[in-house]
A and B are shown apart, each in its own frame.
Chain A
Amino acid sequence: MKDFVISRLGELVEELAKDDEQKKAWEDFLIDFAEVCGKTDFKEELKAPVSNLLQHISEKELSDGIGLLYTKIDNFPAVDVYKALVEVLGKKNDENQVRIAELHDTLAELSTPIIQLWQDVLLAPVIGTLDSQRAQNMAEKLLESIADTRAKVVIVDVTGVSMIDTIVGEFLIEMFSAVKLLGSDVILTGIKPEIAHTLVKLGIDFNMVIIKRDLESALKYSIRKFAKDAEIKQPNPKRGDADEN
């Protein structure tokens, strides 16, 4: 079969493909095919050539090509070639799944950035739809950033959020309470009219946080607060002279 394929190479390639790139791809494949023909681990050896071929032609074209070769070549091992094809496609599919999962993670990562705005101020802009998984990931990330930076104020901006339902509202309340437990203040900004409307209708009460109209007023508020804290700290008389006992 090997000799047959090599001797009729040009003819087969003409029938298998029209444009030059595909012809070249089929030619390479048939040479590789002839090479591994008759080997014991034929199917395994064929995977690499099949996978190379798939970079140039579609699955449909490859499938049609295998059908054609089956009629042209006596004893063409169609079953093994198909097996190799199916396994290659399966592996490709797995790789795609992994890639999709990675992209999903990257997207989640990108959509919940945490930015250090000022020495003691973190900004967490929330963009898009919050589901419970994303909300939990965001809460974990935000709390860790607070613990790392020891930020005193966290501004959570929800301008990019289109809706808040009871579940997301509860998650936000939990996140805000957790931030308070760490000893930082939360300023919530960017609540749109339709969100304010649903919040009140649903009875979600963000009473544990300071709410400001926008980022600018949130920043102004934080800076004023720091200035006030510093003032209190300034006149720090020596204290605690009395020794124990």
Chain B
Amino acid sequence: MMDDKNFNDIDINVHDYDIVLKIKDENDIAVSRQMAKSFAQKNNFSLADVTKIATAISELSRNIYRYAKEGYIYIKKKETEPGKDISIEIIAYDRGPGIENVERAVAGGYTTSQRSLGLGLSGIRRLMDSFYIKSEVGKGTVVVVEKRRRRF
């Protein structure tokens, strides 16, 4: 179950991550949110950035639950240079149906769900410092985002 995941050009080694969460029911969305929040707090992110990280994870988990039924969220702390500021990397991975038009989904305002603003992916991209998405129809979706710690 917890094998290394390989998705095209992205290798995910589960042992590199501080938190690995399986998303398979609705409650897991709230759980992932709480875990992300306490992890960012523990790493001294500003209150605003803690909230942004928790919100981004909430969106990612919901996307997994809603479109792929199940998948994983990986969270880890990244140190760029010793003594320099750290960042948090989050990967959302699923083997769901994939997104047909990634560009349109990321641009925002578009959704295939009836109960959604269609602002999830575009919102995540705006909240985070870096954003990468790879999706293939029939294979799944992986989203990699990063948030750097800001001095405050």
The chain A residue with its CB closest to the CB of B48 is A140
Interface size class of A (residues with CB under 8 A): under 10
Q: Mark B43-67, 1 if CB is under 8 A from A, else 0.
A: 0001110000000000000000000
Q: Say whether B78 faces chain A, with CB atoms less than 8 Å apart.
A: no
Q: Say whether A136 faces chain B, with CB atoms less than 8 Å apart.
A: yes
**Cβ contacts under 8 Å, A136 to chain B:** 48, 150
Q: Say whether A119 faces chain B, with CB atoms less than 8 Å apart.
A: no
Q: Say whether B152 faces chain A, with CB atoms less than 8 Å apart.
A: yes
Q: Judge whether A105 and B151 touch: CB under 8 Å.
A: yes
Total CB contacts across the A-B interface at under 8 A:
13
Where chain A touches its partner, the secondary structure class is helix
The chain A residue with its CB closest to the CB of B151 is A105
Give the distance to chain B from A77, nearest Cβ to Cβ, in Å.
31
**Cβ contacts under 8 Å, A133 to chain B:** 150-151
**Cβ contacts under 8 Å, A137 to chain B:** 150, 152
A139 to B47, CA, bound (A): 12
Give the distance to chain B from A192, nearest Cβ to Cβ, in Å.
28
Q: Mark A100-120, 1 if CB is under 8 A from B, else 0.
A: 010001000000000000000
The chain A residue with its CB closest to the CB of B46 is A140
A32 to B15, CA, bound (A): 54
**Cβ contacts under 8 Å, B46 to chain A:** 140
A105 to B48, CA, bound (A): 18
Q: Mark A145-160, 1 if CB is under 8 A from B, else 0.
A: 0000000000000000
Give the distance to chain A from B94, nearest Cβ to Cβ, in Å.
30
Which residues of A come within 8 Å of B, CB atoms? 101, 105, 133, 136-137, 139-140
Which residues of B come within 8 Å of A, CB atoms? 46-48, 150-152
Give me the 4 closest cross-chain CB pairs, A-B, nearest first. A140-B48, A137-B152, A133-B150, A136-B150
